[in-house]
Amino acid sequence: MKKVLSISVGSAGRDHTTQTELLGQPIELSRQGMNGDLKKAIEMYKFYDGKVDAFGVGGLEFYLGVGKRRYYFREVKYIRDAVKISKIGDGNAVKGLLVKRALAALEAHLNTEGKTLRGMKALKTNAVDRYVMAEALVNAGCEATFCDLMFSLGIPIPIRSLAGVRIIAALLLPIITQMPFKWFYPLGSAQDQPPQPRWEKYYQEADILAGDFVSIRAHMPDDLTGKIVLTNTTTAKNVEELRDRNLHMLVTTTPRFEGRSFGTNVMEATLLALMDKPQGEATPADFLDLIERIPLEPNIEILN
Percentage of the chain exceeding pLDDT 90: 81
Q: How many residues does the chain have?
A: 304
Nearest residue to 34 (alpha-carbon basis) of 24, 47, 18, 25: 47
Percentage of the chain exceeding pLDDT 70: 96
What order of strands is seen across the sheet that includes strand 2-8? 16-22, 25-33, 2-8, 54-58, 87-89
pTM of the model: 0.90
pLDDT at residue 159 above 90?
yes
> What local confidence, expressed as pLDDT, does residue 187 receive?
62
Nearest residue to 267 (alpha-carbon basis) of 50, 24, 48, 31: 31
> What local confidence, expressed as pLDDT, does residue 186 receive?
63
> What local confidence, expressed as pLDDT, does residue 235 receive?
86
Residue type at position 261 = S
pLDDT digits (tens, 9 = 90+) for 23-59: 999 999 999 999 889 999 999 999 999 999 999 998 8
Q: Compute the distance between CA of residue 190 and CA of residue 186 in angstroms, rounded to an integer.
A: 6
pLDDT digits (tens, 9 = 90+) for 203-254: 999 999 999 998 999 999 999 999 999 998 888 899 999 999 999 999 999 8
More confident residue, 55 or 257: 55
pLDDT band at 15 (very low <50, low <70, confident <90, very high): confident
Classify residue 284 by burial, with Cβ atoms within 10 Å: 0-12, 13-18, 19+: exposed
User: Average pLDDT for residues 82-99, to the nearest whole number?
Assistant: 95
The mean of the pLDDT values for the chain is 92
User: Average pLDDT for residues 124-134, to the nearest whole number?
Assistant: 95
> What local confidence, expressed as pLDDT, does residue 233 receive?
83
> What local confidence, expressed as pLDDT, does residue 160 receive?
96
pLDDT digits (tens, 9 = 90+) for 170-202: 999 999 899 877 666 666 555 668 899 999 999
Q: Compute the distance between CA of residue 298 and CA of residue 102 in angstroms, rounded to an integer.
A: 5
